[in-house]
């Protein structure tokens, strides 16, 4: 097992995480390392669910750990806020998996930029959360740290779904922070996503006598033209503009080179504003193609920004960041479905996620750790060691 030093340098911890391959579905080695490192922390209660690891910092446990380290066994579960003495619980979550490698392993440090698979999405954020879990032994809020598997895969394999199904009490909180890359700023809410197949019918014939058939691929041109001419809507919620998008992402037709295709299937992807429900998004798409066969294969609603909700508003004020809309889908939507307000806050440029050249700025790693540590411990934020204070608005 690869040892992780959670009390050492944050950059070296991030490099260690990047250097453990953990493509979606193959997170066991990294989950083993994370679990082992967290179980060494006397103030944490640690549980393993599949290849997801959950660690809880409760004030009652932390106080007892300082006075009697042997009182709590590492497999004892502390649920809810019983005996915690705190009135607020926060979830800090990050996924352990990455997309497939693209020649970007092992990690390398180039000045202030740490390169490598998952450095941006989102092992930099995971490193910050691990450091907080290990080093904050007396937070003013009870904290649940969730390091989960299979975020980059279809929703049914997402580790948060399994935790919610098997141990929903572990996700109960007043606020959730997803350590998704957000340039060390706040990205609120997220878009919903809908995938669908639009089928155009024709009539099969031999290409030597093509006039006897109807070419479905040719007829699909009208659908593609409508997609090309479609103007995405811009919807403002809580002062944030969510720009929608509708795109063809695959076109399939034909069974052989000498056969006129009788079907053409166009797969489309709709990113819709969080003000639309899943049903409204589906109705919107069907309304654009009323004459076509439309089969929705997946639809997941987004999450409203919730900037007027107390816990979110208070954290945004402390972080000092000007909120931006999250253009994409993240697991803040899963927490929203559980009734927990959530936001995205983590190091790294989201535009670099899933790219071969992804990296995370060292300064952002340290900034996110310093600001979250200050909030969780109730002290004023200080600039990270060795760095001058930077403007908070981005």
Q: Where are the alpha helices (DSSP H) in the chain?
A: 10-18, 28-39, 59-67, 124-135, 159-166, 216-219, 221-229, 278-288, 310-319, 332-337, 362-377
Helix axis angle, 124-135 to 362-377, nearest 10°: 40
Residue 153 confidence (pLDDT): 87
CA distance 94 to 285: 32
Regions of the chain where pLDDT drops below 70: 59-86, 380-394
| Per-residue pLDDT at 140 | 92
DSSP conformation letters of 319-368: HTPPPEE--S--THHHHHHTT--EEEE-SS-GGGTT-TT-EEEHHHHHHH
d(CA 38, CA 124): 17
> Quick check: 261 and 202 in contact, CB under 8 A?
yes
pLDDT of residue 59: 58
Would you state the pLDDT for residue 311? 85
Residue 189 and residue 342 in contact, taking contact as beta carbons nearer than 8 Å: no
- Measured CA to CA, the distance from residue 68 to residue 42 in angstroms comes to 10
Whether 242 and 325 have beta carbons less than 8 Å apart is answered as: yes
Cis peptide bond upstream of 322, omega within 30: no
Comparing CA positions, the residue from 4, 13, 1, 5 lying closest to residue 119 is 13
Q: Is 75 a catalytic residue?
A: no
- pLDDT tens per residue across span 288-345: 999 999 999 999 999 999 998 888 888 998 888 899 999 989 999 999 999 999 999 9
pTM: 0.84
CB of 361 closer than 8 Å to CB of 347: yes
Q: Which of 97, 183, 262, 358 is flagged as catalytic? A: 97
Q: Nearest to residue 118, comparing CAs of 187, 21, 5, 186?
A: 21
Q: What is the pLDDT of residue 381?
A: 52
Cβ-contact 58, 84 below 8 angstroms? yes
Of 121, 149, 151, 282, the active-site residue reads 151
Question: Known catalytic residue: 112?
Answer: no
Find, among 140, 105, 99, the residue nearest to 17 by Cα: 105
Tell me, what's the pLDDT at 387?
40
Q: Tell me the CA distances in angstroms from 174 to 73, 76, 95, 171, 309, one per residue in order.
A: 27, 23, 20, 10, 11
Alpha carbon distance 87, 78 (integer Å): 15
Rounded CA separation 293/199 (Å): 5
């Amino acid at each position: 097992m690869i040892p992780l030093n959670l009390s050492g340098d944050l950059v070296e911890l991030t490099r260690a995480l990047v250097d453990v391959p953990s493509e979606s579905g193959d997170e066991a080695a990294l989950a083993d390392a994370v679990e082992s490192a967290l179980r060494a922390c006397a103030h944490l209660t640690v549980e393993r669910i599949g290849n997801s690891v959950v660690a809880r910092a409760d004030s009652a446990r932390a106080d007892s750990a300082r006075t009697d380290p042997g009182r709590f066994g590492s497999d004892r579960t502390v649920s809810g806020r019983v005996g915690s003495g705190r009135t607020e619980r926060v979830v800090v979550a990050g996924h352990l998996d990455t997309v497939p490698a693209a020649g970007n392993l092992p990690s390398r440090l180039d000045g202030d930029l740490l390169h490598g698979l998952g450095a941006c999405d989102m092992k930099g954020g995971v490193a910050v959360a691990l450091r907080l879990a290990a080093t904050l032994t007396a937070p003013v809020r009870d904290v649940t740290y969730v390091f989960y598997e299979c975020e980059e895969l279809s929703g049914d394999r997402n580790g948060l779904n399994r935790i919610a199904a098997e141990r929903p009490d572990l996700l109960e909180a007043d606020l959730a922070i997803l350590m998704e890359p957000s340039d060390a700023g706040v990205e609120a809410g997220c878009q919903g996503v809908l995938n669908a197949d639009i089928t155009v019918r024709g009539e099969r014939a031999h290409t030597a006598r093509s006039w006897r058939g109807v070419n479905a691929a040719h007829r699909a041109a009208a659908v593609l033209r409508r997609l090309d001419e479609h103007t995405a809507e811009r919807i403002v919620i809580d002062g944030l503009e969510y720009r929608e998008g509708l795109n063809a992402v695959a076109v399939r037709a034909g069974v052989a080179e000498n056969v006129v295709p009788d079907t053409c299937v166009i797969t489309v992807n709709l990113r819709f504003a969080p003000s639309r429900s899943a049903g409204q998004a589906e109705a919107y798409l069907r309304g654009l193609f009323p004459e076509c066969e439309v089969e929705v294969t997946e639809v997941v609603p987004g999450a409203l920004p919730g900037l007027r909700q107390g816990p979110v508003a208070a954290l945004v004020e402390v972080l000092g960041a000007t909120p931006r809309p999250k253009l994409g889908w993240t697991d803040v939507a899963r927490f929203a479905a559980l009734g927990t307000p959530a936001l995205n806050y983590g190091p790294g440029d989201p535009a670099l996620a899933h790219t071969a050249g992804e990296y995370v700025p060292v300064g952002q790693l340290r900034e996110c750790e310093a600001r979250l540590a200050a909030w969780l411990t109730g002290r004023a934020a200080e600039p990270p060691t060795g760095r001058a204070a930077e403007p908070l608005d981005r």
